[in-house]
Amino acid sequence: MKIDLNEIALKPVPEADIDTSVEGDELAGVNAGSFTAEKVEPFVLKCEKGVGDVFSICGNTVISGHMPCDRCLEDTPVSVEVDIDRSFPVIDDQIVEDIDDPLSALSEGVLDVCGLLAEEVLMELPVKVLCNADCKGLCPICGKNRNIVECDCDREVLDPRMQKFLDVFKEV
């Protein structure tokens, strides 16, 4: 979904509430990092040219999808709330990118909504995702998912002190 912000800025009353929805193939444009988007709650994007020739967009939505569990790599549901609040300078009737807060989803005044959402999602993603607080993770020897199969690998060969060291690393 693309919105021509310049068009709104040039209207006699330079504002618009745009019903925004991202569906179907467009959802792939919202993917960010290891996050795969599945659903974007429809929301209203408020666009407005205010005093001082500043054009602002704001809106709020919830994006749900999945990303791999930190330990076993299984797809794990994740949903993030994004709060859009951006403003851009208007120079000679043209909306330009704010050099202090660049947005690649804005090109010549045309906003790519999916690109904007992807950028917002990236900032909100949890640092660590677990499919389950007790996830046993992958076996370090055979690589099998230990939540599903109990392999016969001898993991005790590791020096317990070494194991503690590795656990500390996992917590980071």
Is 151 a binding residue for Zn ion by CB under 5 A? The answer is yes
CB burial of residue 73 (10 Å; 0-12, 13-18, 19+)? middle
Q: Is 78 in the site for Zn ion (CB under 5 A)?
A: no
Burial of 133 (0-12, 13-18, 19+ CB in 10 A): exposed
Rounded Cα gap, residues 20 and 84, in angstroms: 13
Comparing CB distances to Zn ion, the nearer of 2 and 136 is: 136
Q: Does 71 bind Zn ion (CB under 5 A)?
A: yes
| Amino acid present at 24 | G
* Residue 89 or 137 having the CB closest to Zn ion: 137
109 token code pair: 């005044």
Structural element, H or E, at residue 114 = helix 113-124
Nearer to Zn ion, 78 or 111 (CB): 78
Cβ pair 68, 76 in contact under 8 A:
yes
Pick from 10, 44, 103, 139 the residue near Zn ion by CB under 5 A.
Answer: 139
Minimum CB separation from Zn ion for residue 126, in Å?
Answer: 14
Q: How many CB atoms lie within 10 A of CB 90?
A: 21
Which residue of 69, 111, 114, 121 would you call a contact of Zn ion, by CB under 5 A? 69
* Binding characters for Zn ion, 97-136, by CB under 5 A (x = yes): ----------------------------------x---x-
49 is an interface residue for Zn ion by CB under 5 A? no
Query: 3-state DSSP call for residue 127?
Result: coil
Considering the complex, what minimum distance in angstroms separates the CB of residue 166 from Zn ion? 15
Q: By CB under 5 A, is residue 142 in contact with Zn ion?
A: yes
Nearest Cα neighbor of 37 from 48, 29, 49 is 29
Binding interface with Zn ion (CB under 5 A): 69, 71-72, 131, 135, 139, 141-142, 151, 153
